[in-house]
Amino acid sequence: MRNISRVALFIIVPILGIMALSYSSYYSWTDYQLSKSPNETLSSLIEEANKAIPINKDPYAASTYRPGESLYLPVLAIQESNFKKAKKLLEPLAEENNPDAIFWLALATYKMIDSSTSSQGHNPKKEVANLFQKSAELGNPYAALMLDNSNCLYGMSAYCELKWGASAKKILKERAEKGDLKARYALFINSPRSFSSFDHIVDLAKQGITENYYKPLLTLVDLYRKRLPISPFEGGHVSLTKIESLNLSKLVGIALNNNDMDAIVYMHANKSLYTEFYYEKTFKRIIPYLSYRFYKWSNDYYSELNKRVKGRKYAIKGYAHARKFDIIHSGTKKRYEHIVVGDLNDKLKYGRYGYGTVTKKERVKANVLAKKYMKSASPIIFINEVNPINSIFHAYLQRDHLYEFLGLSPE
């Protein structure tokens, strides 16, 4: 019997050791830190958020690109999925060996590729790879990342190599050492977790607040929303308490008050965490700067006000913005000419006040307003080299209902 016990001991102990080693390698120090309440680990950030954060009057404070800059219009065209227009605007800049323009030209060219890989001897995927490579060789680390095996775009694996990832990290480290916050953040999201990862992202979030770069802060919030239990006997995600959720929403509020579009995506998806007054005030401020992708937000906002406020002024304003979106988008896709107006009219059929769609007389007033809105239409750009295709929440939250808010479909 004693021998059997010894044999069992020799079998069980190694198995437990292997289980412990596997578990410790799967769950990092970051997971342990995240298992604590954000009320404790993010107390200094929450204290900052509890201060009266002024509303930034600059709508582009958190955007990489501004109206008037050479890359603003072509990058906006990419954000609006108007890749043909983007390519036309980018080609002259690319001919001047502008590495950033070449990066975006490569992306626009990639998004224009149809199901066929070649046509009459032309291989568009190779063209995309050559453009990314040229941009990388001119010093753009984000182009090099696109050619790294771990970041390779769908269908581009034949052109991706590990050497490009190494090249990208080398340039990013050089930029990070010079104080480039975006480069530091790119290094963080393209590196495996380490013992110092949690402290690193907290530090990036704090620095980002001072520089109006909120992606590290929003990534930190998302890490808490997706945190895993540290017990091997529990599954799923660790739920946040109501107080924790509210405190995280306050952190997002720092970015909201500085007009960060990713933060606005978060607020729209978590409306219950914000007061009705704050929610409506934020959208009233941001609606003139929404891009076509977010037209549903504008329609929801105005149709909801039309339900609650007597009169038809909000129906008319909503129709004017809807018409603006339709005019902008129908530049290349005529079949979408009335899609936004149609969506708004569907919403206006219901409500306590102003029941019914916009009348012919109201449309005359709305069309005058639409022309005014068109003249000042300069949407906020939320994509950048680190997140070049969609909102940060498309890449990190992976929450299906956000795709509808963004006007996207999961790929």
Q: Are 363 and 320 in contact (CB under 8 A)?
A: no
DSSP lists the bridge partners of residue 122 as 119
SS3 state at 331? coil
Radius of gyration from C-alpha coordinates of the chain: 25
pLDDT reported for residue 333: 47
Fold of 67-174: 1.25.40
Per-residue pLDDT of the chain (411 residues; tens, 9 = 90+): 555 555 454 555 444 444 343 344 445 667 778 888 999 999 999 998 998 889 999 999 999 999 999 999 999 999 988 899 999 999 999 999 999 999 999 999 999 986 444 555 578 899 999 999 999 999 999 999 999 998 898 889 999 999 999 999 999 999 999 999 999 999 999 988 778 889 999 999 999 999 999 999 999 998 898 887 765 555 567 788 999 999 999 999 999 999 999 999 899 888 899 999 999 999 999 999 998 888 999 999 999 888 888 889 999 999 999 999 988 877 544 555 688 988 898 888 876 556 788 999 999 999 999 999 988 889 999 999 998 876 555 443 343 333 333 333 333
Distances (CA, A) of 175 to 53, 203, 214: 30, 17, 19
Q: What is the pLDDT of residue 119?
A: 52
pLDDT of 205: 96
Q: How far is CA 253 from the centre of its chain?
A: 16
Domain ranges for the chain, please list them: 67-174, 179-288+387-411, 292-378
Structure tokens belonging to residue 262? 């990713």
**Best CA proximity match to 328, nearest among 73, 140, 68:** 73
Nearest-angstrom CA–CA distance, 184 and 187: 5
- What is the per-residue pLDDT for 331? 59
